[in-house]
């Protein structure tokens, strides 16, 4: 660098903050402030303004953690403040640290009528003034004293995440409440300099454009008189004008900027605060739209729109008007930006049913984009699900966080497990919270991997995570980089406009097949086990409630509980948000989630009981209701039937204090230390347990990730293993004839575990219940199954099927996939023989294989039962947990699927008579996932099925009532695809490709 260049850089670096920034406000005057602290939870505007406000001085402390303080700001616009090229505004600084908005105090400003004016954020503190000189200022500020839970992101334990432990001392100090005269030329000059200086820093030192920009910036600074910044700023702008007017290169990367605010529906704040964050952000957006007719903003999550409708109706109607103009753009089509690894198949479908249904009903829109920038990896089932929901395009950003491998595409076709492909974009700027800085724009241009084939990418811009959205400074940058030499071009447009441009420019993009696995945040499959159990239980209760309610409506004329079911679904769908279900939120969030799950369970159990009583009669002999798509213990699928007596399980003691459990199909040996040393398949004459090992072994690991405690499991955990193989007691728990069981009690650290090992008659399945009183910190507990089998791959259940992952580590991609998600089961096997390991609430797994000294192969399947991270919830997972697992020997894939349903849908006892199934299928490869009445309340029956084996299945679906018509539909129950052949009896013949989802809509005959 030339010596003069260094001097110019130093001059710019000092002059801008020292001289220009302070001159942005030509004049400033204080306003009067009174305040009222809300005693507890937030109150609406109408309530707040009736409270007793007292004088409040700027500089005084305010706001306990998670509190709300209302400020009443009054005053008069000074006379003589009518200079040309100025604008009158308020500046209100609640005590912001000048960092990214969303993680500290925020405010929402109202006028006296209760109309929301705009929000206050750390980097967005201005409030418009609509009266002239002498006019009265009268505004109310709802100030939220949210604590900065993250702090310096050192992941230290903090009790700020729980309102009960966060303290009551004020954590903010009101810094400024002024009326100001904004100097527009000075403000515009600052935007000119920020844009051009940012561009200069991105250009190579050898480029003439870089030197031209530096010298021009130096001349502009020289033109500004420090004693008369306001008077000389226009001259400085004239110096820079030719530099800004020089157009972009013809080959410049084309960036379509989408105004955005990725607002986490809960995270380091509770859901109740997210509702207010949405109002604050959306009011900022509407203010920008009032001043910039070209600004377009995209917002995902029907839930967030619904909150505005229900809590801020005046604001929602303003949003509705901008939606109609095409400027406030709903995108995504989901209820929330959910996690996609953990929700079950029907729940994943309902994200779109509920989300797209809302957008259709409220705005008349049928959205075609799926918008999931921040979820922690993406299930291989998604391409089919989003296509069946009527979407065509998919966007994500999160894979840029990969620890090991760089994802090879930015624009591509993503192929799912059934072969469906969806057009996908992965923005090369590697951020969903861009401020349109030159560094973001050039990163996109530099990293875009489809160069030579396509030249257009998307960048979401605006403060997100905690909200805030785009600012006027970002729009100023966008205007200046519309066509600027040396910079990518920036055009503000909608997501649909981007995807249209991307498709046009790239007609045959490459294909990525299979899951989009995030090589990071693997701990989210396990953290906050109670939240995960609540989700799993709720999903299956919803299945039961809809099935029995539909049967009761059709068979007994009972009114179908549409509203109660919708309310339950909306709760479950909200809590599948990608920082709730993954367990990465503060304690408050998970406490509320668990309370909500308990409420859902109470409501749904009531619906199930009333429906079954209506069906079975509610009196008489005991019968059992089976909501599984498979027969269970002699009870047909999807029916109510008398119990079938089972016998044949035996228990005997051994000389070492252990036991042998035997049901004629499998023989289980438990030694005197409570270790399962043998699981022998009597029919196949084959041992399941690898030599010298024990299955259902409890393994404890040190769990201290380098960062992101609740999110991450680092591979180094494997170096620190303690086997919990000493027992305090091993004793008989049950002694048949239909079931036998052994109870083993162990203690370690500050915790204890009671493990029940059981064997029922008629099934080659070992039932395991792990009852844990857990009081460890930064530990990982796994349940290990070292199996005597050479499995080349592990099949893990995902939505509507399974994904096969290699057990060998041949590539860096295999190495990075050391912890994976599975739903109800994992299957490993050799040709013709396999094992299924199932669970009732566990998602995290790892599967590896090793060669033994005897030349055999051990395939190790481990369930991750519990973690104990200390951030953001220092008490995560503490207390009691009851987790169920099973091991089935000689299992094929469909056996694994059957067992997954059985352990998650226990038979339900009722009184009355048998009830024939409403829906039956004659091929076990075709699985009934949902039975319900249609969303449009027409009374039509809707049945969702899928092919579960991974092969082709052919079968006939029959219905237990007169049928008028059967139509195939999409997920939103609109006629779609090739229509089925309907027999004279109303049954339907289906030929399904591997993992294909089919939704049938059946109209009943009169």
| Residues assigned a catalytic role | 374
User: Strand pairing partners for 866?
Assistant: 781
Cα 723 → chain centroid: 34
Nearest to 612 by CA among 935, 903, 914: 914
Rounded distance, CA 241 to CA 219, Å?
A: 12
DSSP state of 701: E
Q: Give the count of beta carbons closer than 10 Å to the beta carbon of residue 960.
A: 17
Contact 881, 864 (CB under 8 A): no
Considering only the C-alpha atoms of the chain, give the largest distance between any 2 of them, rounded to a whole number of Å. Answer: 101
Alpha carbon dihedral 127, 132, 137, 139, in 10-degree steps, equals -40
Backbone angles phi, psi at 29, to 5 degrees: -145, 145
Rounded distance, CA 169 to CA 171, Å?
A: 6
Rounded distance, CA 980 to CA 989, Å?
A: 7
Contact 819, 787 (CB under 8 A): no
Contact 665, 650 (CB under 8 A): no
Nearest to 611 by CA among 553, 659, 658, 568: 553
Token pair for 535: 């989700």
Contact 331, 369 (CB under 8 A): yes
- 3 state SS of 518: coil
Rounded distance, CA 457 to CA 450, Å?
A: 10
Beta strands in 405-531 (DSSP E): 411-415, 421-425, 456-461, 489-492, 511-513
Token pair for 983: 């027999």
Contact 118, 127 (CB under 8 A): yes
Backbone angles phi, psi at 560, to 5 degrees: -75, 130
User: Strand pairing partners for 662?
Assistant: 650, 667
Which residues neighbour 317 within 8 Å (Cβ) at sequence distance 6 or greater?
A: none
Scanning the structure block, which residue is given the tokens 């937030």? 42
DSSP labels, 422-450 = EEEE--TT--SSB---HHHHHHHHHH-TT
Contact 537, 824 (CB under 8 A): no
Backbone angles phi, psi at 459, to 5 degrees: -135, 115
Element (H, E) at 568: helix 562-574
């Amino acid at each position: 660098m030339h010596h003069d260049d260094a001097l110019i850089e130093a001059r710019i670096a000092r002059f801008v903050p020292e001289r220009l920034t302070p001159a942005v406000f030509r004049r400033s005057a204080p306003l009067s402030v009174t305040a009222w602290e809300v005693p507890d939870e937030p109150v609406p505007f109408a309530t707040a303004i009736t409270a007793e406000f007292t004088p409040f001085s700027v500089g005084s402390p305010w706001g306990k953690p998670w509190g709300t303080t209302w400020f009443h700001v009054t005053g008069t616009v000074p006379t003589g403040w009518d200079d040309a090229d100025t604008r009158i505004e308020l500046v209100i600084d609640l005590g912001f640290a000048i960092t990214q908005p969303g993680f500290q105090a925020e405010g929402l400003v109202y006028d006296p009528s209760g109309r929301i004016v705009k929000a206050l954020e750390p980097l967005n503190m201005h409030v418009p003034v609509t009266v002239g000189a002498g006019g009265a200022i009268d505004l109310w500020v709802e100030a939220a004293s949210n604590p900065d839970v993250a702090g310096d992101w050192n992941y230290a334990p903090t009790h700020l995440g729980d309102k009960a432990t966060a303290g009551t001392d004020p954590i903010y100090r009101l810094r400024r409440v002024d009326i100001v005269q904004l100097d527009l030329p000075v403000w515009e000059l600052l935007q000119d300099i920020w844009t051009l200086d940012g561009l200069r820093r991105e250009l190579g030192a050898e480029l003439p454009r870089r030197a031209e920009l530096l010298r021009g910036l130096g001349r502009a600074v020289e033109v500004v008189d420090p004693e008369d910044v306001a008077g000389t700023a226009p001259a400085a702008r004239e110096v820079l004008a030719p530099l800004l007017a020089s157009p972009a290169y013809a080959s410049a990367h084309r960036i379509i900027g989408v105004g955005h605010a990725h607002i986490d529906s809960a995270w380091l704040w509770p859901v109740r605060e997210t509702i207010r964050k949405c109002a604050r952000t959306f009011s900022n957006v509407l203010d920008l739209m009032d001043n910039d007719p070209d600004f377009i903003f995209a917002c995902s999550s029907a839930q967030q729109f619904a909150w505005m409708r229900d809590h801020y109706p005046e604001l929602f109607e303003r949003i509705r008007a901008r939606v109609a103009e095409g400027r406030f753009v709903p995108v995504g089509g989901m209820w929330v930006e959910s996690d996609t690894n953990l929700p079950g198949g029907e729940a994943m479908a309902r994200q779109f049913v509920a989300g797209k249904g809302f957008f259709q009903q409220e705005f008349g829109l049928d959205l075609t984009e799926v918008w999931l920038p921040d979820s922690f990896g993406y299930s291989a089932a998604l391409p089919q699900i989003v296509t069946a929901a009527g979407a065509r395009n998919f966007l994500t950003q999160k894979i840029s966080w990969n620890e090991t491998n760089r994802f090879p595409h930015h624009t591509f076709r993503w192929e799912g497990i059934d072969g469906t492909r969806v057009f996908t974009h992965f923005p090369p700027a590697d951020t969903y919270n861009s401020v349109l800085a030159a560094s973001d724009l050039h990163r996109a241009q530099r990293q875009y991997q489809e160069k030579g084939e396509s030249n257009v990418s998307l960048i979401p811009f605006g403060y997100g995570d905690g909200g805030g959205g785009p600012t006027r400074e970002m729009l100023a940058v966008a205007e200046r980089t519309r066509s600027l030499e040396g910079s990518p071009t920036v055009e503000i447009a909608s997501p649909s406009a981007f995807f249209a441009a991307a498709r046009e420019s790239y007609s045959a993009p490459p294909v990525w097949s299979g899951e989009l696995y995030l090589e990071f945040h693997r701990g989210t499959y396990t953290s906050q086990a109670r939240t995960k159990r609540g989700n799993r239980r709720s999903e299956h209760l919803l299945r039961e409630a809809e099935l029995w309610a539909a049967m009761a409506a059709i068979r007994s004329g009972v009114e179908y509980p549409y509203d109660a079911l919708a309310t339950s679904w909306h709760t479950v769908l909200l809590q599948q948000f990608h920082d709730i279900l993954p367990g990465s939120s503060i304690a408050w969030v998970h406490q509320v989630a668990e309370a909500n799950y308990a409420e859902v369970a109470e409501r749904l159990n009531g619906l199930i009981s009333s429906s079954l009583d209506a069906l079975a009669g509610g009196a008489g002999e005991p019968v059992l209701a089976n909501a599984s798509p498979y027969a269970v213990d002699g009870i047909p699928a999807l029916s109510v039937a008398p119990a079938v007596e089972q016998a044949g399980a035996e228990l005997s003691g051994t000389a070492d204090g252990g036991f042998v459990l035997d049901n004629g199909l499998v023989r289980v040996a438990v030694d005197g230390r409570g270790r399962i040393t043998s699981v022998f398949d009597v029919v196949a004459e084959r041992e399941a347990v690898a030599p010298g090992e024990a299955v259902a072994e409890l393994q404890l690991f040190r769990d201290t990730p380098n960062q992101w405690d609740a999110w991450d499991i680092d591979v180094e955990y494997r170096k620190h293993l303690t086997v919990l193989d000493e027992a305090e007691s091993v004793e008989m728990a049950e002694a048949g004839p239909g079931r036998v069981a052994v109870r083993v009690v162990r203690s370690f650290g500050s915790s204890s575990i009671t493990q029940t090992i059981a064997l029922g008659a008629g099934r080659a399945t070992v039932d395991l219940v792990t009852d844990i009183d857990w009081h460890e910190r930064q530990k990982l507990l796994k349940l290990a199954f070292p199996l005597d089998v050479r499995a080349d791959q592990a099949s893990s259940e995902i939505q509507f099927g399974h994904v096969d992952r290699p057990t060998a580590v041949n590539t860096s991609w295999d190495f990075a996939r050391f912890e994976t998600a599975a739903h109800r089961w994992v299957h490993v096997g050799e040709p013709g023989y396999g094992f299924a390991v199932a669970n009732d609430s566990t998602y995290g797994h790892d599967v590896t294989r090793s060669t033994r000294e005897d030349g055999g192969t051990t395939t190790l399947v481990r369930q991750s039962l519990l973690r104990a991270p200390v951030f953001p919830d220092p008490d995560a997972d503490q207390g009691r947990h009851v987790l169920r697992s099973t091991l089935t020997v000689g299992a094929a894939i469909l056996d694994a699927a059957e067992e997954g349903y059985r352990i998650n849908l226990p038979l339900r006892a009722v009184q009355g008579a048998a009830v024939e199934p409403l829906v039956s299928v004659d091929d076990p490869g075709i699985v009934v996932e949902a039975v319900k009445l249609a969303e449009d309340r027409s009374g039509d029956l809707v049945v969702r099925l899928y092919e579960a084996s991974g092969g082709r299945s052919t079968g006939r679906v029959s219905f237990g009532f007169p049928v008028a018509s059967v139509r195939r539909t999409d997920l939103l129950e609109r006629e779609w695809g090739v229509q089925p052949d309907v027999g004279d009896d109303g049954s339907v013949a289906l030929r399904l490709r591997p993992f294909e989802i089919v939704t049938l809509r059946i109209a009943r005959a009169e």
